[in-house]
Amino acid sequence: MRRTLAPVLAAVLGLAGSLAATLYLFRAAEGALERVLDERLRGAGESAALLLGSVPAAQGHLRELMVANALDGAYLLNPSLVVIADAGGRTGQRADLLRVDPDRVQRAFEGAASVAIGYSLGDLAVTTGYFPVRGEKGAVRAVLGVEAGQAFVGARRDLSRARSAAVALSILAALALGVVAARWTAVERLRRRQAEQAARGDSITRMGAMVAHEIRNPLGVIRATMELMRERGAADGQRERIEDVLGEVERMRRLTEDFLVLGAPDRPLVRGPVDLAAVLIESGRATEATYRGVRVACQLAPLPVVSGDAHRLRQVFANLLANAAQALADGEVEIRAEASDGVARVQIHDQGPGIPPDVRERLFDPFLTTKAGGTGLGLAIARMLVERHSGSLTLVDDGRPGATFEVRLPLVGTEARAWPASS
């Protein structure tokens, strides 16, 4: 769990650090920009104040000052806060106290120039400056007020937009990395779970194969003894018990065979020409003999001879028919087979309860079973053997009640045999 979360935590910490660094850099840039703009406004104001101290104030001078420095306003105030000159042409009126700071104007008359945020228009902060204008003897005769224009405000707005864009990009990067990390975590968790299941399954199959190998000989002895007792003419009551024992021995033999196949998946196939139709009919008859209440109906089109291991293919269809018979208990199992486009298709259908939806994805996993007393090996082994024949085994949805499994095997040769519609 810690290994899975480590990349996510590292990504979160990295992005948090990146966002913090971005905000810090923008804060530093914002401070530097404010200092530059303040110094620019201060320089313009002090220069103009010196000029106006030696030249009589005139509207034209103030307008030139405003245009040259991209200001939004330039005006002169007397100690009573009356406008004595204005670049906009309004004079003789008391200054608008919503735009003018009387305290700073008073300090300017005392000789202290200042530059600071003066007022706001919506979300736009306007910087104002107040500079003493001295006469010939150095006395302050007026105060020059200036208001920063778009050249000042635009730089702040651009920096603010860049900061918002950087934060948005950081958040989007965090979300994207979070999605990637979440997917990676899910894949890693699935991979670990599959690895654990594979390791656990491998141990179980190896142990099962070893146990199956060890009990084959005792089963052979038991079967031979029971058959000998049956041939020597056991009593009717004993004969029935002997048949029961032989049935259980056969069931155990098939189970050991399944474990041996599962424990040695690379065991070579004994390949040769296989009469697929004959294998299907033989498997159907064996199923009817084992499950007395079940009838197997074969509908077989002409089938060419295929290349494969007849014993293993017989095991495939025996497992599929056994599953169908166990699901049905009493009734008919249907086998349909046809060949076309170089492929033989065999469908085995039962009218049982079907496969639960929550089991379908894991249907072919070893040891997964929905039947009491089942081993969960039949379908896993059947699929493995079919795939070793370069074929496929799938559960198909044909709209009919019950379950339908389809085996596809590649054809070799062209000779075909026709078989009866049912057996």
Query: What predicted TM-score, i.e. pTM, was given to this entire model?
Result: 0.46
**265-300 pLDDT, tens digit each:** 566 778 888 899 999 999 998 888 888 888 999 998
CB atoms within 10 A of CB 394: 14
CA angle (201, 355, 324) in 5-degree steps: 90
pLDDT class of 226 with cuts at 50, 70, 90? confident
Domain 2-148 identical in fold to domain 268-417: no
**26-53 pLDDT, tens digit each:** 677 666 666 777 788 888 888 888 777 7
Which tokens is 351 given? 């009218």
Task: Tell whether the model's pLDDT for residue 71 goes beyond 80.
Answer: yes
Q: Write down the pLDDT at residue 189.
A: 80
Domain 268-417 has CATH 3.30.565.10: yes
- To the nearest 10 degrees (0 to 180), the angle between helices 378-388 and 310-328 is 150
Task: Tell whether the model's pLDDT for residue 423 goes beyond 60.
Answer: no
Domain boundaries, the chain: 2-148, 168-261, 268-417
CB 140 within 8 A of CB 108: yes
Q: Write down the pLDDT at residue 419.
A: 38
- What Cα–Cα distance (Å) separates residue 162 from each residue in 22, 150, 351? 11, 17, 68
More confident residue, 384 or 167: 384
Which residues, other chains included, contact 156 with Cβ-Cβ below 8 Å and sequence gap of 6+? 30, 33, 34, 37, 125
More confident residue, 349 or 228: 349
Q: Which long-range contacts (CB under 8 A, 24 or more apart) does 171-178 make?
A: 171/19, 173/15, 173/18, 174/12, 174/15, 174/19, 177/11, 177/15, 178/8, 178/11, 178/12
Report the candidate in 352, 281, 350 with the shortest Cα–Cα distance to residue 318: 281
CB 382 within 8 A of CB 324: no
> How many residues make up the chain in this entry?
423
The CATH code belonging to domain 2-148 is 3.30.450.20
Task: Tell whether the model's pLDDT for residue 404 goes beyond 70.
Answer: yes
Sign, CA torsion 274/275/277/280? negative
Task: Tell whether the model's pLDDT for residue 158 goes beyond 50.
Answer: yes
Which residues, other chains included, contact 309 with Cβ-Cβ below 8 Å and sequence gap of 6+? 269, 270, 271, 272, 274, 385, 389
- Determine how β-strand 306-308 pairs with β-strand 272-274: antiparallel
Task: Tell whether the model's pLDDT for residue 110 goes beyond 70.
Answer: yes
CB atoms within 10 A of CB 249: 19
CA distance 184 to 4: 9
**334-353 pLDDT, tens digit each:** 999 999 888 899 999 998 88
More confident residue, 123 or 224: 224
Which tokens is 340 given? 């076309």
Instruction: Name beta bridge partners: 403.
Output: 350
122-131, 148-157, 184-193, 203-212: range with lowest mean pLDDT: 203-212
